[in-house]
Copies of this chain bind each other. A is one copy, B any other.
């Protein structure tokens, strides 16, 4: 039996209607316009307007992240799904996306430092960190380890998009980012929620020049 469902099939109309619903469901009044653009894309990615209440950011993170990307900065991601959520043809300078987690040296480093593979990969981030845009969409241990190496004097990234997810360490690692006092622009989502879709949506919004 043939059935035709009633749904919007035009991608432009889906896009317009989605963003109209998001604008109606969340209050972006407390945010600078370029931060609000990122928040909108985050909400779009997860379907949850209420995450706006848990977002934390420095007012300069979108501008600093965008400027870094325009200048050709690499993007460092903590996991493959975050990498694959990044819309490459929207990047302003054909920016490299580095995912050191998949480097074959990582398991050995993890044993050496007594930490997860995600945290071990941060050792391989170091040489690329200077001025980079960091995107964390999975591992709390990657964010904790990043903060540790930064406190130890590792080169500073231009911005940190910190969205680890889960039950063990995610909320704590993001609270640590907010409290770190390391003078690096960031956006994060307090609590257990996060993930690659949110992280890559945030990066895509930062990469897009709305002006």
Contact B47 A165 (CB under 8 A): yes
For the complex, is A14 an interface residue (Cβ under 8 Å from B)? yes
Number of residues of chain A lying within 8 A (CB) of chain B: 53
Interface mask (A163-190 → B, CB under 8 Å = 1, otherwise 0): 0011111101100100000000000000
Question: Of A128-136, A141-149, A203-211, which stretch is located at the interface?
Answer: A141-149
Interface mask (A1-45 → B, CB under 8 Å = 1, otherwise 0): 111110111110010011001100000000000000000000011
Q: Nearest chain-B residue to A11 (Cβ)?
A: B116
Complex CA gap A170/B14 in Å reads 11
- Whether A5 touches B148, Cβ cut-off 8 Å, given contacts A85-B81, A196-B196, A197-B195, is yes
Q: Nearest chain-B residue to A137 (Cβ)?
A: B197
- Whether A148 touches B14, Cβ cut-off 8 Å, given contacts A48-B192, A167-B47, A170-B47, is no
Contact B193 A46 (CB under 8 A): yes
Number of copies: 2
Contact A9 B114 (CB under 8 A): yes
Q: Nearest chain-B residue to A170 (Cβ)?
A: B47
Contact B141 A172 (CB under 8 A): no
Contact A9 B194 (CB under 8 A): no
Cβ contacts under 8 Å, A70 to chain B: none
For the complex, is A90 an interface residue (Cβ under 8 Å from B)? no
Complex CA gap A21/B192 in Å reads 12
Complex CA gap A152/B140 in Å reads 46
For the complex, is A105 an interface residue (Cβ under 8 Å from B)? no
Cβ contacts under 8 Å, A80 to chain B: 84
Q: A46-B195, A195-B195 are in contact. List 5 more A-B contacts (CB 8 A).
A: A5-B172, A7-B173, A14-B141, A17-B167, A47-B192
Q: What would 25 A/B residue contacts be, using CB atoms closer than 8 Å?
A: A2-B152, A3-B148, A5-B144, A5-B147, A7-B140, A7-B141, A7-B173, A8-B168, A8-B169, A10-B116, A14-B169, A17-B167, A18-B166, A18-B168, A21-B168, A45-B165, A47-B167, A47-B191, A47-B195, A80-B84, A81-B85, A81-B196, A84-B84, A165-B197, A195-B195
